[in-house]
Amino acid sequence: MTRSSCGPFTSVIDFLYKSRTLQQFCALYKKNALVAWRNRRATILRLIAPFLFLLLALLIDKALQANDRNSQAFQDQPNPTPELIGDIPSCHDDLYIGDRPCQELLYSPNNTLSNAIMANVTTRNKIKITATGYRTQDEVNQYLLANTDSVIAAVHFIFDDINKEDTLNGFLLQTNTTVKVFKGDVQDPNKFVQLPVQSAVQRELARYFLSKNPATKPAADNLSWNLYVQVFAHPAIATVSVLGQVLGPFVFAAAMFSFVSQIGFLVSERELGLRQALRTMGMTEAAYWLSWAAWEFTMAFVLGHLICCYGLLLQFRLFLDNSYGLLFFLFFLFLLAMSSLAMFICSFIKKTTIAVYVGFAVFLIGWIMQTVVIFGVPYTPDFYDTLNWALTCIFSMLPWTTLAKGFSDLGAATVSDSSPGLRWSERKSYCLNIPNREDQFSYNPREQYISFKCVMPLNTIYWLYVALWAGFLVLAIYVDNILPNEFNVRRSPWYFLMPSYWIPSLSKGNGLGKLDDSHRAPGDTGATDEDVAAEESKVRSLLNHRTGKAGELASFVEQRNAVEVFGLQKVFPPSGGCAGTCCFCCYSESSPGAFWAIKGSWFTIAENQLFCLLGPNGAGKSTTINCLTGVLPPSHGEALVYGQAISSVAGMDKIRSMMGVCPQFDVLWGELNGREHLQLYASVKGISWRDVVDESATLLEKVKLTYAAGQRTSAYSGGMKRRLSVAIALLGDPKIVYLDEPTTGMDPISRRYVWDIIQEAKVGRAIVLTTHSMEEADILGDRIAIMAKGKLRCIGTSLRLKQKFGSGYQVAVSVVPPRGSQADLQMVAARADNIKQYFRERLGEEPVEEGRVYIHYLIPRNKEAELIPFLKELEQQAAQLGITDVQLSLTSLEEVFLNIAKTAEIEEARNTNQKPMDVPLPDGTILKVPLGMELVTNPATNISYKIKWSTDENGNLCVLDTTPLDATQLAAAIATQGGASSAPVAAPQHPGTVEVRLPDGTSMLVPLNTPYVMNPLTNQPYQVTWGNQGGKPVVLSCVPYTPPGGVQMTPQHTNGAHSQPVMQDAPMQPANYFDGNGRPVGEGSLQIPLPGSMPSTSSNHK
């Protein structure tokens, strides 16, 4: 039922949703929002990560402020306070000396004047100190070198004549000028010792010379000496903002949470097949990329404001004093550029687990590069103008480097409390490249911030981020198209230059008129089954009709086909070599290693029918479905779906609008519920927005999932997921539906219910079904085709296939009385023996299975003529034989499937010349038998055997049973296979070799009747005893041999029998068995077990 609505709002939506891309964009954007909302922990972490890193930056900033609180360099000093120079301190007050033995002063020379001056210095100092005199300055230096960190200062008086006091020219002070820091205490050498010693010596010199003059002697006695030190008035002279340097790497680290999260979501959609499922439903590439770009735009917008708010909340001066717009656009555009970079990187990643490692690598590289930027590389005039401007351009292509540059500028503009910060109008004018001081103009640093050594302002960084955002997004789309996707499909590097890319209707595809038989798989001889050949002939005639060539047309015009497949082929390139290592290398279908998944299929699928495509693993059925649904482009051939070509871009686009697909594996978002999945796919499919809700509810009811419509699919069982996938395939009333194993994982009740849905859905459409359930194919399939090794092996109804490829008829006979009646066990056993004798005499058949109630017989097809009169006779004598029930049925479809798969494997083995298989015979002999041969004869015993072949779970041939045949059974087997020419006979007498197992485990090919052999690997001789069995030479024993009297064995003694031993891959010798005309039917050699060795049953036994 369609929702009715009115008003201008709905009219606007109707108008906008005429664009399929816009409708898909809205649905995909909603999907991204729902996935983010359901992943609350990851989303919340993305939003609060900046706050946590800013909080950590705040702690670092507070620690640095506490460390620099008492330093005038980090304070404004408009009116510095003079500081009195105190007395000389004790040497134990030195941070590096402490309690160790020391003295305060040394002086030179130790003449009368120097001694008097230094004596007054020590006695008039309020703190007790010592002073030791030396004759020369060199002696003082020698003492200081021998006793490090034991003296805080030395005074050297300078005399023209050391013996004359009036020749004093001054003095020198010798101190350690290193600023000493210990446990947070800072000791300035100027204030600690240099100025006090200088003041004390000058004071005592003045006092000494005043006392020499009687007129000034009273002044010397009353001398008052107070010296002060005062720094120049200055603002905070720190020119580098530590906070501006720290915040860049911290905000970058917070942004990495969004970066890694985005990569994870994008790669997981590709890895899980979700993106391909959307594409199969008709999603355009523009809608997909724009939805992700818009979602990341939203997240960047929110995160940009949050980072600004977090900075203001934490009272960072950088956030408080700079314009909010400058900060917001720096963060917002940086996050946008990072989001596009993430999309670009995702184009190279195919596994979600790699996303974490890539994120860590990007973080490490970004952190290192930001550290380099903090030290001025490359955003300084030296690098930009004189060294290498290209380095600046390369750095600027990575968003994190310009983030560090932007933070550095904002931090420098707010370095102190008096710094004015930057306003939005100054985003460009503050940055000037004027390195020459004479050309720089004056300005008030309290009102305006200007940098004369700046090469990239914030305004340039903003535009650079916009360019990076658009550039990385375009590169992401381009690389995603030219690199192989999960199905190894890619576009050419110049695809965007082709008109058909922009106007799909210009794409012509392969074209029916271009089809020919020039492309054939190696060894392909065409159809081997008459029904397949008839189907191909019919489709070829239809091709003639489509292309306007002569042919039988009438029968095809009347029948409406949903799908017409014309010589479809698909070849995959080799896994190694040119095409394997280079994305753009060409390869040939005849190249070694090229895999032919489809070797040329010709068939049609009629409307109102269910076409069941069966085959073992690797048969080509999934590849066929992928070609028909547009996932894989065919290598050769063409297919029409309701008249639209699959090789044409425009045709495939129309096919997707009328196609539904249930893939082999569920492609569902675990965060979305069933209802949201159907609404998403319905919008992508192009269903009117008015009908999306109602159609979703109808399909949920049809597949019995209404009760779980609001439950996340991650909590669905396997059967519930399959039912939801079937519902998605039926969205929009598609004309052609592909169901790839739709009932896998379902319980029997749900499976039967889905079968009913599929049966109902056949009306008015065609359904293509693949399954591994033969029961499902038997019940649902109107026509069944079985593929193996890339070829169509049979096609027809289930009954036709059973009649043609089945082993015959199954007859089940019961002689057990009905329940409630008295039955003698001996009587039942006697009746069973009579039935066996009856079948044995009239049909020559033994029971294949005996149950508690029924005796089962398999009647071959060649006895079909005898079966009807036999059953009539059996019915007439039922009472006499005690028969209570007789059941007759054809062989199962599963047996047909296994027979065809086995035949295909045998054909493939013979076409590729595979080596014979080691088959253990009941007598212990290992016989090398060509793959697929059912009748063989042991040439040593002339006993014939019937080998029962089958295929394992991987589709490889294996031996189920080996049964010896007597003459009667051999004749019957030969008759079953169609003639005496099929009977194997023993090889005629001929000179040859026999493979002999030596006691040390080595096998050697030994010429017949050779008495001695030598192992060339060990030079050990052996004695071989020969006998005769059935006219054939056999080895009776093989033992080590020691020549008598020290005789040396040479190759001449062994008749050359020390030739190369047989290893694992040694070439086989001439055949030991021939067909009825004497022609060899395979290659092989007889292995004879020796005494003390057990015959091996391994296929690698040598």
Tens digits of residue pLDDT in 530-542: 899 999 999 988 8
Q: Are 1017 and 1029 in contact (CB under 8 A)?
A: no
Q: What is the mean pLDDT of the chain?
A: 81
Name the phi and psi angles at 228, rounded to 5: -125, 155
- Tokens 């008295």 locate to 822
What is the percent of the chain where pLDDT is above 70? 84
Q: How far apart are CA 859 and CA 1099, in angstroms?
A: 33
Q: How far apart are CA 280 and CA 278, in angstroms?
A: 5
Instruction: State the pLDDT at residue 575.
Output: 63
Interval 149-189: pLDDT, tens: 899 999 999 988 887 777 888 899 999 888 887 776 778 88
Give the per-residue pLDDT at 946: 83
Q: What is the pLDDT of residue 1076?
A: 35
The answer to whether 2 and 691 have CB atoms below 8 angstroms apart is: yes
**Strand pairing class (926-929; 917-920):** antiparallel
Q: What phi and psi values does residue 786 have, to the nearest 5 degrees?
A: -115, 125
Residue with tokens 């985005």: 262
The rounded Cα 798 to chain-centroid distance in angstroms is 41
Residues 130-144: tens digit of each pLDDT: 999 999 999 999 999
| pLDDT value of position 74 | 63
Q: What phi and psi, each to the nearest 5 degrees, are found at residue 645?
A: -80, 135
Q: Which of 525, 299, 330, 548 is nearest to 422 (CA)?
A: 330
Contact 863, 843 (CB under 8 A): yes
Tokens 């039988």 label which residue?
Answer: 552
Please tell me the predicted confidence (pLDDT) of residue 1101.
Answer: 31
pLDDT, tens digit, 9 for 90 and up, residues 795-849 = 999 888 888 888 788 889 988 876 645 557 788 888 888 888 888 888 888 888 8
Amino acid, single-letter form, for residue 202: Q
Q: Enter the tokens of residue 401.
A: 């480097």
Q: Spell out the residues 6+ positions from residue 841 whose beta carbon is closer than 8 angstroms to its own.
A: none
Residue with tokens 């009195």: 84
Cβ burial, residue 589 (10 Å; 0-12/13-18/19+):
middle
pLDDT of residue 233: 80
Residue 513 — pLDDT band, cuts 50, 70, 90? low
Torsion of CA 838, 842, 846, 847, to 10 degrees: -60
* Residue labelled with tokens 């301190």: 89
580 or 241, which is more confident: 241
pLDDT score for 428: 93
364-402 pLDDT, tens digit each: 999 999 988 888 788 888 777 666 677 888 889 999 999
CB atoms within 10 A of CB 498: 13
At residue 592, the pLDDT reads 63
105: confidence class by pLDDT, cuts 50, 70, 90 = very high
**Phi-psi group of 375: left, alpha or beta (phi > 0 → left; psi -120 to 50 → alpha; rest → beta):** alpha
Residue 252 confidence class, pLDDT cut points 50, 70, 90: very high
Closest CA to 55 of 231, 247, 292: 247
Residues 790/620, Cβ–Cβ less than 8 Å: yes
The dihedral built from the CA positions of residue 658, 663, 666 and 671, taken in this order, carries a sign that is: negative
Average pLDDT over residues 427-452: 88
Closest among 207, 226, 205, 227 to 216, alpha carbons compared: 207
CA distances from residue 511 to 541, 636, 652 in whole angstroms, order as listed: 16, 10, 13
Instruction: Say whether pLDDT at 739 is over 70.
Output: yes
Amino acid of residue 226: N
Q: What is the predicted pLDDT for the residue at 190? A: 87
Q: Is the pLDDT of residue 1052 over 60?
A: no
- Cα→Cα distances 731→316, 420, 692, 780, Å: 55, 63, 9, 21
pLDDT of the residue at 210? 87
Mean pLDDT within 555-562: 62
Beta pairing partners, 994:
1006
Beta sheet of 561-572, edge-to-edge order: 595-606, 561-572, 636-641, 644-645
Question: What is the rounded average pLDDT of the residues 215-222?
Answer: 82
Task: Considering only residues 916 and 75, tell me which one the structure prediction assigns the higher pLDDT.
Answer: 916
Predicted local confidence at residue 510, as pLDDT: 61
Q: Residue 911, SS3?
A: helix
Closest CA to 319 of 68, 73, 44, 61: 61
pLDDT, residue 232, reads 80
What are the Cα distances from residue 88, in Å, to 98, 102, 263, 336?
A: 16, 14, 67, 63
Rounded Cα gap, residues 235 and 208, in angstroms: 42
Q: Is the pLDDT of residue 676 over 90?
A: yes
Q: What percent of the chain has pLDDT over 90?
A: 34
**pLDDT by residue (tens digit) across 563-581?**
999 989 998 887 644 444 4
Question: Amino acid identity of 380?
Answer: T
What is the C-alpha separation between 1029 and 1039, in angstroms, rounded? 20
> What pLDDT sits at residue 80?
83
Give the C-alpha separation, 478 to 344, whole Å: 9
Secondary structure (3-state) at 286: helix
* Count of C-beta atoms within a 10 Å radius of residue 489: 14
Residue 490 or 152, more confident: 152
Environment class of 44 (CB within 10 Å of its CB; exposed 0-12, middle 13-18, buried 19+): exposed
Burial of 825 (0-12, 13-18, 19+ CB in 10 A): exposed
Render pLDDT for 873-889 as a digit per residue (tens, 0 to 9). 888 888 888 888 888 88
* pLDDT above 60 (res 1041): yes
* Per-residue model confidence (pLDDT) at position 821: 54
> 263 burial class (0-12, 13-18, 19+ CB within 10 angstroms)?
buried
* 1087 pLDDT higher than 70: no
| CA 1011 vs CA 85, 907, 1004: distances in Å | 119, 42, 14
Lowest mean pLDDT among 310-319, 542-551, 642-651, 683-692: 542-551
For residue 1023, pLDDT beyond 80 = yes
Higher pLDDT, 368 or 498: 368
DSSP 1036: E
Closest CA to 405 of 384, 430, 375, 449: 375
Mean pLDDT comparison of 13-22, 337-346, 740-749, 1026-1035, highest-scoring range: 337-346
The predicted-structure confidence for 265-310, as pLDDT tens digits, reads as follows 999 999 998 999 999 998 999 999 999 999 999 999 999 999 999 9
- Residue 987 pLDDT > 60, yes or no? no
| 457 or 237, which is more confident | 457
Lookup: tokens for 49: 């990560």
Please say if the pLDDT value at position 547 is more than 70. yes
Q: Among candidates 431, 364, 370, which has minimal Cα distance to 399?
A: 370
Residue reference for tokens 């191909």: 536
Residues 6+ apart with CB under 8 A from 542: 551, 556, 561, 564, 604
Q: Is 948 helix (H, G, I), strand (E, B) or coil?
A: strand
Helices (H), 548-577: 554-558
Q: Can the peptide bond before residue 218 be classed as cis, meaning omega within 30 degrees of 0? A: no
Mean local confidence (pLDDT), 9-25? 81
Phi, psi of 1092 (to 5 degrees): 85, 0
Predicted local distance difference test score (pLDDT) of residue 769? 94
DSSP designation for 862: G
